[in-house]
Amino acid sequence: MKKKITLKQIARELDVSISTVSKALSGSKEISEDTTQKIQAFAKLYNYKPNNIALSLKNRKTKTIGILIPEIVHHFFSTVIRGIEKVANRRGYNVIVGLSNESFTKEIINMELLANGSIDGFILSISKETLLKQDYHHFNATISQGIPIVMFDRVVNEVACDKVIVDDFNGALKAVNKLIENGCKNIALLTTMDYVSVGRLRTQGYLKALENHKIFANSDLILKIDDSLNVENHIEILETEIHNFLKINPTIDGIFAVNELYAVTAMKVARKLGYKIPDDIQVIGFTDGVLSKHATPSLTTVSQHGEKIGEQSANLLIDRLEANDIENDKYFIEDDSKADYIKMVIETEIIERESTK
Amino acid sequence: MKKKITLKQIARELDVSISTVSKALSGSKEISEDTTQKIQAFAKLYNYKPNNIALSLKNRKTKTIGILIPEIVHHFFSTVIRGIEKVANRRGYNVIVGLSNESFTKEIINMELLANGSIDGFILSISKETLLKQDYHHFNATISQGIPIVMFDRVVNEVACDKVIVDDFNGALKAVNKLIENGCKNIALLTTMDYVSVGRLRTQGYLKALENHKIFANSDLILKIDDSLNVENHIEILETEIHNFLKINPTIDGIFAVNELYAVTAMKVARKLGYKIPDDIQVIGFTDGVLSKHATPSLTTVSQHGEKIGEQSANLLIDRLEANDIENDKYFIEDDSKADYIKMVIETEIIERESTK
DNA sequence: TTTCAACACGAAAACGTTTTCGCAAATAAT
DNA sequence: ATTATTTGCGAAAACGTTTTCGTGTTGAAA
């Protein structure tokens, strides 16, 4: 077992001081050609690599980003992680992932754990429970400790930080517009309980599209589904809810769903009821995941560009981290209270597939 | 901006030494009741939490696990991560995620980056490129540095470490058995090029099942699909390949696919060709992901229990890490070469849905 | 009164770096 | 020959902990 070699060991072996080794390895002009050569050769031979932890302690920065998301087995979130990882890697950062599991407490614990020196900044999406409780003190506490946060997708005005969001309103608007233009007269909305702002915005987009076309918004055509904790098993309930909904409202000829699961389930149910898609009913979903791509018929969706969201979030965070560096170097620490934070909106895009005409 | 408080600051403020503060906070009997109270109160007030990096440096362990996977936007891998995170959290560890993107070089870079003190051990699944190259020196180098590795799913005999694998052989065997018992006479196999051992094992299970039932294995019924780099766009190619395959072999009445994408695509194509599922053709896929669950008809699959794989991997790794601790404490470092490594096999389970009778 | 524990605390080392400063020797300028 | 400057290197501090080993004070035992 060859443990990693340290500066001290090299120094001892070559009979020079630690400082000399350090300088030689960084190519300092202070050290003579000769010794530099000798030390570098030795270091290469023993595959010396500086210890990251020691560097982190010395520099008081870890070059690590903490990602905190509600759930990882989820297409959208994993694409976001991929985006974050991509730019983080490129810019010399690592990512450490925490899962809140939609729980307020786990969110707090995870943050406190990582905020104790393990990471330089956070990229996160708020858990449902936190949104329900509307308790955001842990975010503000973290920020006031000097640890910047970037929130994505599920964000909240009460916290002053950079944000990257999907243009949920316009995404929904565009989707419903398309349904209308495609000739749909009675467009249903399949949505969740709207304490998650995201759902609320999509509903607003739906309503606005109808209004723009002078279509009366019939509240009977809006089905709100309770997406409580045990989502996994609720698939049958989901199906029967949609089934009954379609039975009661036989005039529906277009469906806009706020996620792809609702959309494909609606297609499934509709087909069982004898509807042809897209001939009798056209369907558009939000979120462009595997399901949409491989459903039969494949689903027209509003793509959220998760990877792009991740990239932008990472860039925003790292930009701020490195800006802070400069400020600190200048011994000029600006009053953060008037720092202007960026809210970046990522445009959606409609991916047309077989579920619309 | 309230930066985190340190022992030194508390010491200065309360006019005691750093050692006293440290001891008081850990409840040492050395310190008087009075001072202990005073110090603890002060620490609580200022929300003191020890700096993780400093602790890591001192203890020479980070309580962090490095996960290295080929791809994160992938149902199986994200369930594994979820499993790892779950037990890691419970046992006091964090996880830091690296993506190899199926690239040999990125795998190496990521490992070297994290091996410099950032993590105590690795849990990883080998990238395709590495498997092709059959170059495993970086794994062995890491291990001989004293950093344990646990490999899952895509493992390799050439590296001496703990492994957690799916019982691919028996999973395939059971699946094909079921097709046979359900009356299928001409069972096709949809597989990939088999440099990934996983695919090879599934093929062997398929062949064994046929053999057990004295069915002649017709090589015409095996379709090997080239799953090269640009998988995303290959969906049309996949469809046409399967289309032609089914046209040429009209007797096929059962399909076993080594992943769910091939399975649902096969269903899609078959239905376009006028087959009824499961009446004319029954289909079973490997990997129980979202697609299987929500396809129409829903797909019977061999579940790999990704979360369980993650949990077991994490337990194996942490067990070994903490066993090493004890050995080191004893100043008795065993010769690792004769350490016996565990290969844990996770049994598969068939989830029956609508694509089989 | 002297001796000895017990008590309460501080100094210092260690983990592995980087960096500032100081200092001797060698070279250059006067 | 004397002073000034460069060159090449080492000592030490610092990052924030924990822990070992002193050490001075107190109260009790001799």
Residues in A 99-118 with any Cβ partner in B closer than 8 A:
99, 112-118
- Same domain membership, residue B172 and residue B295: yes
Check CB contact of A74 with chain B, cutoff 8 Å. yes
- pLDDT digits 0-9 by tens, B109-160: 999 999 999 999 999 999 999 999 999 999 999 999 999 999 999 999 999 9
Q: Which of A174, A180, A203, A213 is nearest to A357 (CA)?
A: A180
Q: Nearest CB to A290: which of B52, B268, B291?
A: B291
Phi and psi of B158, rounded to 5°? -70, -10
pLDDT at B230 over 60: no
What per-residue confidence (pLDDT) applies to B146? 93
pLDDT of A303 reads 96
| Block residue for tokens 């690795």 | B122
The DSSP annotation for B129-187 comes to HHHHHT--HHHHHHHHTT--EEEESS--TTS-SEEEEE-HHHHHHHHHHHHHHTT-SSE
Q: What pLDDT is attached to residue B156? A: 95
CA–C1' span, B287 to C24, in Å?
72
Kindly tell me if the per-residue pLDDT of A107 is higher than 60.
yes
Per DSSP, B67 falls in state E
Q: Strands, DSSP E only, in chain A? A: 64-69, 94-99, 121-124, 149-152, 162-166, 187-192, 222-225, 254-257, 282-286, 300-303, 343-346, 349-351
Q: Are A50 and A5 in contact (CB under 8 A)?
A: no
Specify whether B140 is located in the same domain as B182.
Answer: no
Whether A174 and A300 share a structural domain: yes
In a domain, residue B357? The reply is no
The nucleotide closest to B25 (CA, C1' atoms): D18
- Per-residue confidence band for A235, with pLDDT thresholds at 50, 70 and 90: confident
**A132 and A40 fall within a common domain:** no
Contact A161/A341 with Cβ under 8 angstroms? yes
| Alpha-carbon gap, residue B296 to A284, rounded angstroms | 17
Q: How far is CA A18 from the centre of its chain?
A: 44
* Amino acid letter for position B270: A
CA of B208 to C1' of D16 (A): 61
Res. B29: pLDDT tops 70:
yes
With residue A183 as reference, give the H or E element that holds it. Answer: none
**What angle is formed at CA A345 by the lines to CA A184 and CA B98, rounded to 5 degrees?**
110
In a domain, B30, yes or no: yes
Cβ atoms within 10 A of the Cβ of A349, count? 13
Site of tokens 């302690």? A57
Asked whether the predicted pLDDT for residue A162 surpasses 50, the reply is yes
What's the rounded Cα separation, in Å, for the pair A79 and B73?
A: 6
Cα three-residue angle A51-A56-A61, rounded to 5 degrees: 150
- Please state, rounded to an integer, the average pLDDT across all residues of chain B: 92
In the three-class reduction of DSSP (H, G, I as helix; E, B as strand; rest coil), residue B301 is classed as: strand
Q: Does residue A279 share a domain with residue A217?
A: yes
For residue A239, being part of any structural domain is answered with yes
Chain C positions within 7 A of any protein Cβ atom are 7-21
Domains in chain A: how many in total?
Answer: 3
In chain A, what percentage of residues exceed pLDDT 90?
Answer: 87
Whether A83 is covered by a domain: the verdict is yes
CA–C1' distance A16–C28 (Å)? 28
DSSP β-bridge partners for residue A65: A95, A121
Are the beta carbons of B151 and B126 closer than 8 angstroms? yes
Whether residue A248 sits in one domain with residue A235? yes
- Strand order, beta sheet including B222-225: B222-225, B187-192, B254-257, B282-286, B300-303, B349-351
Judged by CB atoms closer than 8 Å, whether chains meet at A82 and B99 is answered as yes
Measure the CA–CA gap between A190 and A285, rounded to whole angstroms.
9
Q: What is the mean pLDDT of residues A121-141?
A: 96
Tokens matching residue A253: 């000829």
Residue A55 falls inside a structural domain: no
Residue A313 within a domain = yes
C-alpha span between A273 and A245 (Å, rounded): 12
SS3 A96: strand
pLDDT of A333: 42
CATH of the domain at B270: 3.40.50.2300
- Select from B255, B175, B179, B170 the least CA-distant residue to B204: B170
Residue ranges in A258-332 assigned as alpha helix (H):
260-272, 290-294, 306-329
Q: pLDDT per residue over B42-80, tens digit each?
A: 999 999 999 999 999 999 999 999 999 999 999 999 999
Task: Please state, in angstroms and rounded to a whole number, the distance separating the CA atoms of residues B89 and B293.
Answer: 29
For residue A2, the chain B residues in CB contact (below 8 A) are 144-146
- pLDDT reported for residue B327: 63
* Maximal C-alpha separation, chain B: 88
**Tokens found for residue B108:** 């190496």
Identify all chain A residues contacting B79, using CB atoms and an 8 Å cutoff.
Answer: 73
| B158 and B249 within one domain | no
Rg for chain A (alpha carbons), in Å? 26
Q: Which residue is nearest to nucleotide D10 (CA to C1')?
A: A17
* Same domain, residue pair B293 and B216: yes
Whether residue A285 sits in one domain with residue A226: yes
- Answer whether residue B352 is part of any domain: no
Determine contact, residues B175/B204, Cβ cutoff 8 Å.
Answer: no
Residues B96 and B200 both lie in one domain: no
The dihedrals phi and psi of A176, each to the nearest 5 degrees, come to -70, -35
Do B310 and B289 lie in a common domain?
Answer: no
The pLDDT value recorded for residue B339 is: 65
Check if the beta carbon of residue B300 is closer than 8 Å to that of residue B264: no
Helix A168-181 vs helix A197-212: crossing angle, to nearest 10? 40
- Quickly state the pLDDT bin for A236 (edges 50, 70, 90): confident
pLDDT average, residue stretch B273-291: 94
Same domain, A261 and A287: yes
Residues 6+ positions from A338 with CB-CB distance below 8 Å? none
Assess contact for B140 and B170: CB atoms under 8 A.
no
Question: Which residues in A lie closer than 8 A to residue B64 (C-beta atoms)?
Answer: 96, 118
A16 domain-assigned: yes
Share of chain B above pLDDT 70, in %: 93
- How far apart CA A309 and CA A154 sit, in angstroms, is 12
Which one of B2, B72, B82 has the shortest CB-CB distance to A145?
Answer: B2
Lowest mean pLDDT among A119-133, A198-212, A296-310, B185-199: B185-199
Q: How far apart are CA B140 and CA B161, in angstroms?
A: 9
**Structural domain containing residue A335:** 62-165+306-345
Does A283 score more than 60 pLDDT?
yes
